[in-house]
Amino acid sequence: MRLTGNEDLRVIKTIEAIKSAFEALICEKDYNKITVKELCERAKINKKTLYHYYETLDYLLAEIQAELSEGYLERVKDFVLPDDLDKVNREFFLYASEQGLAYEKITCGGTYHAIRDEMTNKVTDSAWSKSKKYQKLNDYEKKVLMGFINNAVLNAYREWVQDGKKIPMDEVIEITNKIVLGGVNGFFK
């Protein structure tokens, strides 16, 4: 349940407890191993309460995904693509670094393909929809271009996280931008 700010304090605390417990479980195990029972025990609620707000764990995960996507989109909403792609990539790394371990697990973990793809598609649709250059491409070109950008940026982020973030973030962003911008600028020539 998305909070609007008009809810009763008990509802707010319950939703926060559910999300907090869920994020803690995401940090500990793969999504497909999380059970409703253990989520309810962690959140100190009963199953009926959970199902009152979320039909399934998938709905809860989808809500968290939407919130994460919206937070990032808010940060990049004024950038023009492909011209500001370097800034969009920088914001991705900065935003990701502020989100915590659950975000890292969703972005880097093996069992989160569907939710990660949904987040990526939402960002792509929103960020690139205003690009005149992008709109001139046919569907195949759009898919190939987005696949290249998304895979390159996500792979750079995953490798950085899996390597323990030993390289300074600015250096990772610079490397990522060299690769991505080189490909994108070459594509649009």
Residues 36-68 have pLDDT tens digits of: 999 999 999 999 999 999 999 999 998 998 888
Residues 102-138 have pLDDT tens digits of: 999 888 877 777 777 777 887 788 889 889 999 999 9
Distances 102 to 11, 61, 78, 184 between C-alpha atoms, Å? 23, 11, 27, 30
Q: What's the whole-model pTM score?
A: 0.87
Q: Torsion angle, CA of 150/172/169/99, rounded to 10 degrees?
A: 20
Token pair of 2 as six digits: 């998305």
Domains of the chain: 9-54 (1.10.10.60), 79-187 (no CATH)
